[in-house]
Structure 1
Amino acid sequence: MALQQAKVFVEDLQRGMFVSRLDRPWTRTPFALQGFYIRDLEEIRQLQKYCRYVYVDVVKTVGDVGVKLRKLTRDASAASGSNVAPSRGTPRRIPVAINCKPVQVKHDSYAPPEPVRKEAAKARQLHDRIIQGMQEVMVQLKTDRPLPTAQVSQTVTQMVDSVLRSPDAFSWLARVREKDEHTYSHSVRASVWAVVFGRHIGLRRQELVQLGIATLLKDVGKLFLADTVLKAEKRDPREELEYRKFVDYSVKLLSADPNVDPQVLTIVQCHKEQHDGSGYPRGLRGGQIPVLARMCGIVTFYDEATNPRGVEFPLPPSRAVGQLYELRNSAFQEQLVVEFIQSIGLYPTGTQVELSTGEIAVVVEQSHKRRLKPKVMLVTDRNKTLLEKPRLFDMAADDDRKQAIVDKGKKSLAEVGLITITQDLDPSRYPQISVAKVRDQYLYEQRLPAFIARFIPSR
């Protein structure tokens, strides 16, 4: 069997590597997942604090570094004369090459995000207008009146500009489900994730608008499906064929409007195609699927995974990310899967998390360069008792303060006790925690900034 892992010293780690083993037990580190992609410099920094070397899965590693690792291991295997045949009775799997060029990514295309509270009020107003626009779309579909696509396009354009200023402001609105699920729809959430994703990889503003509009309107054809087909938990083959017609219905409806951008139609038509050709309606594969349609497919899957129909609470992001990752290079292009996970972070805004101290918190704002160290609102003590007043805790700032103490030689790393996120939590586990209330307190209450300025947790 060919070598699948490479021992890599932490000084040589790079983004895109898949860490499959450490040089010590996982439980003695802050890493919650037993196997993960290195997405940013902060994760490398954390590995350097806890390990001397790690083992990297050369097959799962992506990008140029993956190509180099696989070549090195093949050369090493050939030099050692290793040529082990598969065991008797085991079928030999012949991989089928999927023609798909890497997507050009420019992570620094836009300025660093502004503080989320600066953009929050504008984002909320825009979000309400988007919901109103979608309500009008559904009403006018039922009455055979022209779709208000011009108004929808204008509002999405404003949303794109808002996301370019501060992705977290709209991410909050995508993470928290309101009680009226009829108006807070999957399409609105998916559209937000699509624009956040596009900002991350450096799409041009026009492409962001096209992607946002297409993701928002991609499901309008579902209005013509019977409820028994649309809401069925499991569909028989006949029902599945009927369900898949919604894509053609959506394209037909939108193409009747001369104001709809042809690129939007292309995204809608291809967003259910899959990387290995198993999608619909045309069975396109790999590079045959437009990049923006591939991205639309990923955010559609992610939102459906985190917000499954008929479930009261959304699923924790790590579970949805795990499901998405399992579909890399089958349903979705692996490079884009990794980039999407990087764009939302392992702990997106609005996620309930448990800290290494035992306290429970809600992620309220991302640290742009250090995704594993966001700002969180502490909502319980270490005994899981609700606090009377949630307290803000800036994990990156706390890390920097403690690192400075270590650098001065006053204390060791073990003595200062760096605080980490140990896991994200299923919202149903602590239903007494209102994420929406935390959001409103952090984003919209005028008295909060002064309150936060006074609070620096003593650790």
Structure 2
Amino acid sequence: MAIQQAKVFVEDLQRGMFVSRLDRPWTRTPFALQGFYIRDLEEIRQLQKYCRYVYVDVVKSVGDVGVKLRKITRAADEQSSSQQTPPAKGSYRRIPVAVDCKPVQIRHNSYAVPEPARREAHKARQLHDRIIRGMHEVMVQLQADRPLPTAQISQNVCQMVDSVLRSPDAFSWLARVREKDEHTYSHSVRASVWAVVFGRHIGLRRHELVQLGVATLLKDVGKLCLPDEVLKAERRDPRAELEYRKFVGYSVKLLSTDPNIDRQVINIVQCHKEQYDGSGYPRGLRGGQIPVLARMCGIVTFYDEATNPRGAEFPVPPSKAVAQLYELRDGAFQEQLVVEFIQSIGLYPTGTQVELSSGELAVVVEQSHQRRLKPKVMLVTDREKKLLEKPRLFDMAVDDDRKMALVNKGRKSLPEAGLITITQDLDPSQFPQINVAKVRDQYLFEQRLPAFIARFLPGR
């Protein structure tokens, strides 16, 4: 057998695998043995804390997973031999995880076509502010050992669900832009918005959207029971990590004392840190053992933490967070749900800074839900990357239709038409002079916006 070792991401590790190498020196980890069999989930969790991937000895791995590894690598060797292309030095193959789980029933287009974000913006902002204040009240009440204001929270989430059903982009804007006065609980508010947008996309019923939204909003209340040095630590040793993971149990205990909390909400909270391959916590559930809404909650939690790392001055570009999420498909998260979530927010969600093929920089202000790669954007620089005195609205879908009409009539060739595309999303730290919050407010809330939509770019 040509391949003796397989590079395996830690979220794909299973009992019976023999770990022969790490992605870092053994001396930088608490593992005393340089090579060991994985015997239980706790060893997997410790590896997840210190490593991104490890090398597994295909021959030494035992049990069903050893048989599977050898079949996979044997088939890969045969394919490489038939193509006369031996594996490159240092190459690896991602080992798929076999998990018993039925596909999730998806009902696309269950709701009406979204209304324009501007029409919903004022209602969404007022409601968003109420939710933020409500979460602040939750923290105050918990610290004072008083009952949670769950009735008000549920009412706010019900209204948020109705708002997202009318216009996902309005609330997505509010989740995307990080305000200067954001609090530690803003993550839960943002994740709750993504959860409802996600649920709308796959056609969840309204009561399920409310359950998902409330659970995602309250999933972290137990973190108030953790010591600050554990909660805020950038890196935790295995002992501190075990202490940190107790927050799930604390959250469940706090919510269970309230008779007004839906039992399904508590179930989502209890399972939202479980992972599809069984490597999550607190119970190591896998696949279909994890409720669908909890699987969705786990995905939006990861996405928001990836786009808004604790302590970072700027958010991470959505494309990087999406790439991280996609890499975890059928490991930490169910592939079907990962793909559906990415489709629900689009490759370029509202608030994303992008560069156009013409050279201008812009901010995505509203999705075209049938043509995700052609959103409405606000142009903020010219082709030389100089800030415009006043940003200009540019509807990429409308511009495409106009130019393609000329092509179809034979008046221009496709190259002559010059279709505009998004070439990449931008790291916000590269262009701190672009004030995304100001662009948002100009687009959503200012009354005296231009009445027309720009149908061509400056100088075109």
Does the alignment reach a TM-score above 0.5?
A: yes
Alignment of 1:305-324 (within 5 A): 305-324=306-325
State the SS of the aligned residue for 1:103.
coil
Tell me whether 1:253 sits opposite 2:240 in the alignment. no
Matching residue of 2:201: 200
Matching residue of 1:143: 144
Conserved? CA contact 2:395–2:454, under 8 Å? no
With normalisation by structure 1, the TM-score equals: 0.80
Alignment of 1:350-389 (within 5 A): 350-389=351-390
Matching residue of 2:404: 403
> Cα distance, 1:96 vs. partner?
4.8
Is the alpha carbon distance of 1:328 and 1:94 closer, same or farther for their aligned partners in structure 2, counting shifts above 3 Å?
Answer: closer
State the SS of the aligned residue for 1:392.
strand
Conserved? CA contact 1:135–1:183, under 8 Å? no
Query: Which AA in structure 2 matches 1:355?
Result: L
Alignment of 1:109-258 (within 5 A): 109-182=110-183, 185-258=186-259
Q: Structure 2 CA distance, aligned partners of 1:93 and 1:214?
A: 33
Query: Which AA in structure 2 matches 1:426?
Result: D
1:98-126 deviations in Å (ceiling 9; x for gaps): 00111010111000100000000000000
Aligned length: 380
Tell me whether 1:325 sits opposite 2:331 in the alignment. no
Q: Structure 1 CA distance, aligned partners of 2:216 and 2:258?
A: 17
Q: Structure 1 CA distance, aligned partners of 2:253 and 2:94?
A: 41
Is the alpha carbon distance of 1:410 and 1:202 closer, same or farther for their aligned partners in structure 2, counting shifts above 3 Å?
Answer: same
Q: Structure 1 CA distance, aligned partners of 2:96 and 2:331?
A: 12
State the SS of the aligned residue for 1:377.
strand
Matching residue of 1:412: 413
Q: Structure 2 CA distance, aligned partners of 1:157 and 1:366?
A: 23
Query: Which AA in structure 2 matches 1:226?
Result: P
Is the alpha carbon distance of 1:188 and 1:409 closer, same or farther for their aligned partners in structure 2, counting shifts above 3 Å?
Answer: same
Conserved? CA contact 1:392–1:452, under 8 Å? no
State the SS of the aligned residue for 2:452.
helix
> Cα distance, 1:455 vs. partner?
3.9
Is the alpha carbon distance of 1:446 and 1:331 closer, same or farther for their aligned partners in structure 2, counting shifts above 3 Å?
Answer: same
Conserved? CA contact 1:178–1:184, under 8 Å? no
Conserved? CA contact 2:276–2:330, under 8 Å? yes
Is the alpha carbon distance of 1:281 and 1:183 closer, same or farther for their aligned partners in structure 2, counting shifts above 3 Å?
Answer: closer
Conserved? CA contact 1:107–1:201, under 8 Å? yes
Matching residue of 1:453: 452
CA-based RMSD? 2.3
Conserved? CA contact 2:97–2:331, under 8 Å? no
State the SS of the aligned residue for 2:242.
helix
Name structure 2 gaps, 5 residues minimum.
2-74
> Cα distance, 1:94 vs. partner?
7.8
> Cα distance, 1:357 vs. partner?
0.5
Q: Structure 1 CA distance, aligned partners of 2:398 and 2:360?
A: 18
Query: Which AA in structure 2 matches 1:219?
Result: D
Conserved? CA contact 1:177–1:184, under 8 Å? no
State the SS of the aligned residue for 1:453.
coil
Matching residue of 1:65: none
Matching residue of 1:64: none
> Cα distance, 1:181 vs. partner?
2.0
Name structure 1 gaps, 5 residues minimum.
2-73
Matching residue of 2:13: none
Query: Which AA in structure 2 matches 1:231?
Result: K
1:394-416 deviations in Å (ceiling 9; x for gaps): 00000000000000000100001
Q: Structure 1 CA distance, aligned partners of 2:245 and 2:400?
A: 50
Tell me the percent identity. 82
Q: Structure 2 CA distance, aligned partners of 1:390 and 1:100?
A: 48
> Cα distance, 1:82 vs. partner?
6.4
Q: Structure 2 CA distance, aligned partners of 1:283 and 1:130?
A: 32
> Cα distance, 1:456 vs. partner?
3.4
Matching residue of 1:274: 275
Q: Structure 2 CA distance, aligned partners of 1:132 and 1:262?
A: 25
Matching residue of 1:52: none
Q: Structure 1 CA distance, aligned partners of 2:131 and 2:95?
A: 47
Conserved? CA contact 2:114–2:166, under 8 Å? yes
Matching residue of 1:335: 336
Conserved? CA contact 2:395–2:453, under 8 Å? no
Q: Structure 2 CA distance, aligned partners of 1:307 and 1:92?
A: 30
1:326-353 deviations in Å (ceiling 9; x for gaps): 1001100000000000000000000000
Is the alpha carbon distance of 1:158 and 1:354 closer, same or farther for their aligned partners in structure 2, counting shifts above 3 Å?
Answer: same
Conserved? CA contact 1:131–1:183, under 8 Å? no
